[in-house]
Structure 1
Amino acid sequence: MLGTLPDLPASRTEPDGSAVVRVLSYNVRSLRDDVGALARVIRACAPDVVCVQEAPRFFRWRKAAARLARQAGLVYVTGGGTASGPMLLTSLRAHAERTEDVLLPRTPGLHQRGLATAVLRFGPAARLGVVSCHLSIDAGERYAQGRLVLERLAGLGVPHAVVAGDLNDRPDGRTFALLAEHLQDGWAVRPWGRENTTRLGDPPKRIDALFATPGVEVLGCGVPMGLAGVTEADLRAATDHLPVLAALRVPASS
């Protein structure tokens, strides 16, 4: 049994226009596992934004994405097949100002990779850029993709943004370090919950992460093991990764 983990701050919009936004990152392994368990974990985390990796990409992928969104109480925003796996879901609290799916340069013999990106508004004034990514297993290609992620993040044209995803790299790796050099590593800034994101029983590694631009306040970040409603049975059944949940305070845009 999992212990009791105090929850992160709840979603809200402050009188000054800033917003507390809950962001979840989750590799769902193409929904090949127990979608009901996956949806229960997502619901228990009460996210405003879900950065999905390994969303369905092929036959009837839109139907599968819509099914997950419906069961999780969210709406589909962008990505999936059009981004080669990364996808964004949100609660009705988020207003999508614009979206873009990006296919990254591909190394022959390796999987096509992409990014699902959006600029979201919460309340009247808090705007947050979001990038969901799943980086290469090849170290050289992965590092090049890390640089492209930073370029795309800057190209969103908003002062506050997050990158979340399956990096296929650990904190001592070159690509992870590249992102951490320019962005706040949520776990390192305000650890909460469990650190490692490989599934229970596998060698412990932190290969999934959430990063935020300077100016975004990280209120807590980590794997929500022990959070009310998140059971060990569901975590084991849902997919082969553990999710990363963060609460962020996003300032009002000037």
Structure 2
Amino acid sequence: MSDGSALVRVLSYNIRSMRDDTAALARVIRACAPDLVLVQEAPRFFRWRKKLARLARASDLVVLTGGGTAAGPAILCGLRATVERTEDVLLPLTPGMHRRGFATAVVRFGSARVGVLSCHLSLQKDERYDQGGMLLDRLAALGVRHAIAGGDLNERPHGRTFRRLADDLQDCWAVAPWGGEYTSTPADPHQRIDAILATKGIEVLSCGVPLDHPGVSGADLVRATDHLPVLAVLRVPAA
């Protein structure tokens, strides 16, 4: 664009370790034509790198970072993205709870530079709230003016962790709702627990579940995994 800004399509998707219909999953991702995919529950055990790479190839993307090294979150990207750096972060382990982490990167789309973070927050409310603070700290530590975070927050918008994040960042669906709102479960969508969030300098053009997106089959959405994806179209200013 003449002002140096970039339109960036971001998809956030919990893929349940690719235990469902991976062909349907790849078709959904490919139809959404994302520049970035913020994945949760990527494969993280036996041959996890090969499994994630296979999904990326089937979706016309490449693996940017994450997977087993981030305890599940991962980032895929298209060839428009120029990668500056990546870092996978493991969060403090609470005894008896599932290990969590962040997959993070700094990428460029032409003159637009943006930090990216994929997350899957705790099921336990106090641990989840602490992880929300760590997410905000991690975005700040990326050292970039503009940033995007997405993931399975395991909490509805009225929850205190969701509100904490939405106080500092834009809840993209609330800014420019489009498509469907609810992300869980595909067969009976009744709650929004997945979100894409952006720093306040980013313009949110649309955000929602791509229920009526060209090429996205309702049957594929049900077969692909146990969450519905969130797709956001964002305008990121030049750095």
SS of 2:201's equivalent?
A: coil
Task: Write the distance in 1 (CA, Å) between the matches of 2:234 and 2:186.
Answer: 26
Q: 1:21 pairs with 8, 28, 45, which one?
A: 8
SS of 2:195's equivalent?
A: strand
Q: 1:93 pairs with 74, 80, 86, which one?
A: 80
Q: Is the 8 A contact 2:183 2:191 kept in 1?
A: yes
Report the alpha carbon displacement of residue 202 of structure 1 after superposing the two structures with TM: 3.1
Q: Tell me, yes or no, if structure 1 residue 42 matches structure 2 residue 40.
A: no
Q: Is the 8 A contact 2:37 2:75 kept in 1?
A: yes
Q: Tell me, yes or no, if structure 1 residue 240 matches structure 2 residue 237.
A: no
SS of 2:228's equivalent?
A: coil
Q: Which residue of 1 aligns with 2:194?
A: 208
Report the alpha carbon displacement of residue 246 of structure 1 after superposing the two structures with TM: 0.2
RMSD: 0.7
Q: Which residue of 2 aligns with 1:218?
A: 204
Q: Which residue of 1 aligns with 2:100?
A: 113
Q: Which residue of 2 aligns with 1:141?
A: 127
TM-score scaled by structure 1?
A: 0.93
Structure-2 change in CA distance of 1:187 and 1:59 (3 Å)? same
Q: 2:181 pairs with 180, 192, 195, which one?
A: 195
Tell me the alpha carbon deviations over residues 40-62 of structure 1, each in whole angstroms, 9 at most, x when there is no partner: 00011000000000000000000
Corresponding residue pairs, total: 239
Task: Write the distance in 1 (CA, Å) between the matches of 2:36 and 2:142.
Answer: 17
Q: 5+ residue gaps in structure 2? A: none
Q: Tell me, yes or no, if structure 1 residue 75 matches structure 2 residue 68.
A: no
Q: Is the 8 A contact 2:183 2:189 kept in 1?
A: no
Between the two proteins, what is the percent identity of the paired residues?
68
Q: Which residue of 1 aligns with 2:160?
A: 174
Task: Write the distance in 2 (CA, Å) between the matches of 1:60 and 1:200.
Answer: 27
Task: Write the distance in 2 (CA, Å) between the matches of 1:219 and 1:160.
Answer: 16
Structure 1 outlier segments of 4+, above 6 Å: none
Report the alpha carbon displacement of residue 203 of structure 1 after superposing the two structures with TM: 5.5
Q: Which residue of 2 aligns with 1:228?
A: 214
Task: Write the distance in 2 (CA, Å) between the matches of 1:203 and 1:78.
Answer: 30
Report the alpha carbon displacement of residue 16 of structure 1 after superposing the two structures with TM: 1.6
SS of 1:164's equivalent?
A: strand
Task: Write the distance in 1 (CA, Å) between the matches of 2:87 and 2:77.
Answer: 15
Q: 5+ residue gaps in structure 1? A: 1-13
Task: Write the distance in 2 (CA, Å) between the matches of 1:109 and 1:54.
Answer: 19
Task: Write the distance in 2 (CA, Å) between the matches of 1:235 and 1:200.
Answer: 7
SS of 2:126's equivalent?
A: helix
Q: How does 1:59-74 map to 2 (within 5 A)?
A: 59-74=46-61
Task: Write the distance in 2 (CA, Å) between the matches of 1:128 and 1:192.
Answer: 23
Task: Write the distance in 2 (CA, Å) between the matches of 1:141 and 1:203.
Answer: 26
Tell me the alpha carbon deviations over residues 169-199 of structure 1, each in whole angstroms, 9 at most, x when there is no partner: 0000010000000000000000000000012
